[in-house]
Amino acid sequence: MKLLFVVSSLDLTQPFSATPAWWQLLKGLYEIGVDIIAAPYQGPPIESLWWRAAANPAQRHGNLFKAARDLTWRVTGGRMTERQGDAESASDRLVRAAAQRVIAPLWRDHLDRLLTQEPDIDAVIILTAPLNHLVGVAGDLISRHGKPIFYYDGDVPASLPSMGGFASGFRIYQGADVREYSAFISNSQGGAEEISRLGARAVHVLYYGADPDVFSPVETPAQDLDVLFYGHGREYRGEWIDAMIRDASNALPEARFAVRGTRLGDLGRAQALPYLSFSKLREYSSRSKVNLCITRRAHASVFASSSSRPFELASMGCCILANPYLGIETWFEPGKELFVVQSGEEARDRLRFLLTHDAERRAAGRAARERVLKEHTFRHRAAQLVEIVRATV
């Protein structure tokens, strides 16, 4: 099978949270024998051992937009408010109109050339590039080439009109035509129902996972951290950051709390760790006795809305303490492979127990990694994606 991907970004130095997951998914596809071409929607084409990179036909335009957005971010001091509802702002409409007028034709012509030059491509999959920037592109290409085109929304449910999207991101469904795609793929089971109601021809669910070679346990001289949180931004999870980090660290002065992240607010006694690189996640997590998984409200409140962090932490054999996450039992068994708390008080009690019971803590970490190896690697996800494509071709 040969697949052409339009990926939101291939640049790990940029703040696109799903990029590491897309690297792992494409690697997993390569490992099961799929021939991959990957073109980035934002940033430069980056070659790897696992895919052949194709150009970004609108790279200059994207760089200009990103520079303007970064300037706005600096001017506002990074202050963003949580969106409510599906109303577009004037700037949202302006960006969408400009993209449809300028960016969409560039991508239509670029993908048309690739499909003409390489007629053995079986399908095109768009990975979380802004849906309403490319209106008409999928419909035109399906008519010209007869190849299925899938849209994989990896930000469900936060991306959906009912949720309003992230303040720092795009509203991708306003002005889009979901019916032009052969099928949609969603990282969320509950969110897939809304995509169907929006008019998609078909919707499949493909959860996140982890590459167990990338996210593997690290032997450290000693676990010098008691509790770690690794993540960025309070948006949609401020209540649980306060309860599980600020309040817990103040209530447990004997425990060493640490965070690696930005824009998290008051963290109580928690120590801030230097960023250095994304690869540092593995070392930091392995150094900590307990790793917090604080999932944003959008994902936590819609059934089985997968995000990367639970799978990454489990794959590293970490002991995981999570805030309430609807449908988490779809992937892991609470009380055995991770621990879920319902209140700040319960979080503090559970931390006291775990920090004084090494055997229980380590057993949960082993069980979590075993579950990933059995069901949740990106090779599993790659095989599931291939079956979705085969069912549509």
Q: What percent of the chain has pLDDT over 90?
A: 79
Residues 108, 166, single domain; the answer is yes
- 61, 181: one domain: yes
| Residue 270 confidence (pLDDT) above 80 | yes
Shared domain for 237 and 154, answered yes or no, is no
65: nearest Cα among 18, 111, 102, 10: 102
Which pLDDT does position 52 carry in this prediction?
Answer: 98
pLDDT for res 120: 98
State the CATH number of the domain containing residue 193: 3.40.50.2000
Tell me which DSSP letter residue 29 carries: H
Query: Residue 225 is which amino acid?
Result: L
Same domain, 107 and 205: yes
**Which H or E run contains 249?**
helix 248-251
Contact yes or no for 128/158 (Cβ under 8 A)? no
165 shares its domain with 22? yes
**Cα 176 to Cα 153: distance, rounded to the nearest angstrom:** 13
User: Is 216 inside any structural domain?
Assistant: no
Total residues found in the chain within this entry: 393
CA–CA dist 293, 246 (Å, integer): 15
Cβ neighbours of residue 308 closer than 8 Å, sequence gap 6 or more: 17, 18, 20, 21, 208, 210
| Residues 267 and 126 reside in one and the same domain | no
**184 and 271 co-located in one domain:** no
For residue range 63-113, list pLDDT tens digits in order: 766 565 554 445 555 444 444 455 566 777 788 888 889 999 999 999 999
Q: In angstroms, what CA-CA distances link 166 with 85, 161, 282?
A: 11, 11, 27
- How many domains does the chain contain in total? 2
Please give the single-letter amino acid code of residue 7: V
Confidence of residue 16 (pLDDT cuts 50, 70, 90): low
**339-340 and 320-322 strand pairing:** parallel
Rounded CA-CA distance 60/171 in Å is 22
Beta bridge partners of 257: 227
pLDDT reading at 267 higher than 90 = yes
Does 382 reside within a domain?
yes
Q: How far apart are CA 148 and CA 393, in angstroms?
A: 6
Residues 244 and 368 in one domain: yes
Contact 341, 350 (CB under 8 A): yes
Cis peptide leading into 157, omega within 30 of 0? yes
Q: Same domain, yes or no, for 369 and 382? A: no
Measured from the Cβ of residue 285, the count of other Cβ atoms closer than 10 Å reads 23
| Residue range(s) defining the domain that contains residue 17 | 2-209+378-392
* pLDDT of res. 86: 53
Q: Which candidate, 35, 36, 29, places its Cα nearest to that of 6?
A: 36
pLDDT at 30: 98
Q: What does pTM read for this prediction? A: 0.91
What is the average pLDDT score of the chain?
A: 91
Residues 165 and 293 in one domain: no
Residue 67, SS3 per DSSP: helix
Please indicate, yes or no, if residue 220 is contained in any of the structural domains: no
N-to-C CA span, the chain: 11
Q: Which of 28, 40, 32 is nearest to 4 (CA)?
A: 40
Higher pLDDT, 301 or 60: 301
Please choose, from the candidates 143, 154, 115, 109, the residue with its C-alpha nearest in 3D space to the C-alpha of residue 37: 115
How many angstroms separate the CA atoms of 312 and 292, rounded?
12
Q: pLDDT digits over 304-327, tens only?
A: 999 999 999 999 999 999 999 999
- In the structure, what pLDDT confidence band is assigned to residue 166 with cuts at 50, 70 and 90? low
Q: Are residues 229 and 334 in the same domain?
A: yes
% residues pLDDT > 70 (the chain): 90
**261 vs 381, which has greater pLDDT?**
381
Q: Are residues 147 and 165 in the same domain?
A: yes
| Residue 168 pLDDT grade (very low, low, confident, very high; cuts 50, 70, 90) | very low
**331 or 236, which is more confident?**
331
Give pLDDT tens digits for 178-197.
999 999 999 999 999 999 99
Residue 219 within a domain: no
